[in-house]
């Protein structure tokens, strides 16, 4: 959406059948639209860790950002506070914090390449690649197995899977599968 007010209007319009539990504006404003114990319609078709119907298994947080600029400091601060509370209330591990692009590779690209996953991981609100690991020789068979073990269980082609993993862990990366792509999927530390 082009503005937080447009996103809020759309998320509250029952005719479009899309909603989220929370919306965080670029200025740090936060709206709760659906109770956390209720189902929202934010994720759509997808899969994570072999589970589908992600809408029934998740708390959806939408962020006011078109994807062409960094997320604002006030927005990230509010997101971090919100995640801290949600994770405590639901005993949710960092491995459960994912983006739409993780559960629906190829169909969804948000939160996008400008989202600061490393910042969240540093605070324990997301996972990050293990450090100082020896890279494995790149092969899509191994990559696919490692991605599946990390949670990427939706059946997609190799390039779509690579794109989704890179969007999360190596958004600057280009070109063919590399040893660094394999390293990004080594068991993660929170």
Instruction: Write the pLDDT tens digit of every residue in 64-110.
Output: 998 888 999 999 999 999 999 999 999 999 999 999 999 999 999 99
Contacts with 158 (C-beta within 8 Å, 6 or more apart), sequence order: 140, 143, 144, 177
- Tokens at residue 179, please? 């040893």
Our answer to whether residue 80 is catalytic in this structure is: no
Angle at CA of residue 10, ends 171 and 114, nearest 5°: 15
Domains of the chain: total: 1
Q: What is the pLDDT of residue 131?
A: 66
What residues make up the domain containing 94? Answer: 4-183
Catalytic hit among 17, 62, 73, 80: 62
Q: In terms of DSSP bridges, do strands 61-63 and 30-32 run parallel, antiparallel, or are they unpaired?
A: unpaired
Q: Is residue 89 part of a domain?
A: yes
Q: What is the pLDDT of residues 21-79, one digit of tens each?
A: 999 999 999 999 999 999 999 888 999 999 999 999 999 999 999 888 899 999 999 99
pTM for the model stands at 0.91
When the pLDDT of each residue in the chain is averaged and rounded to a whole number, the result is 92
CATH number of the domain where residue 120 is located: 3.40.80.10
Q: Is residue 12 part of a domain?
A: yes
Q: Is residue 188 part of a domain?
A: no
């Amino acid at each position: 959406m082009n503005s937080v007010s447009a996103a809020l209007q759309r998320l509250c319009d029952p005719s479009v059948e899309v909603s989220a539990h929370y919306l965080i504006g670029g200025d740090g404003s936060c709206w709760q639209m659906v109770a956390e114990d209720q189902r929202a319609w934010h994720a759509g078709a997808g899969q994570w860790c072999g589970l589908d119907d992600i809408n029934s298994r998740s708390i959806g947080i939408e962020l006011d950002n078109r994807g062409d600029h960094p997320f604002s400091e006030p927005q990230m601060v509010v997101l971090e506070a919100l995640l801290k509370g949600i994770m405590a209330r639901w005993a949710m591990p960092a491995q459960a914090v994912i983006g739409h692009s993780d559960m629906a590779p190829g169909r969804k690209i948000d939160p996008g390449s400008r989202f600061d996953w490393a910042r969240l991981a540093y605070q324990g609100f997301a996972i990050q690649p293990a450090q100082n690991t020896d890279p494995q020789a790149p092969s899509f068979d191994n990559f696919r197995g490692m991605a599946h073990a990390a949670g990427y269980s939706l059946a997609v082609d190799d390039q779509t899977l690579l794109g989704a993993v890179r969007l999360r862990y190596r958004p600057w990366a280009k070109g063919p599968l590399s040893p660094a792509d394999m390293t990004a999927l080594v068991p993660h530390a929170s």
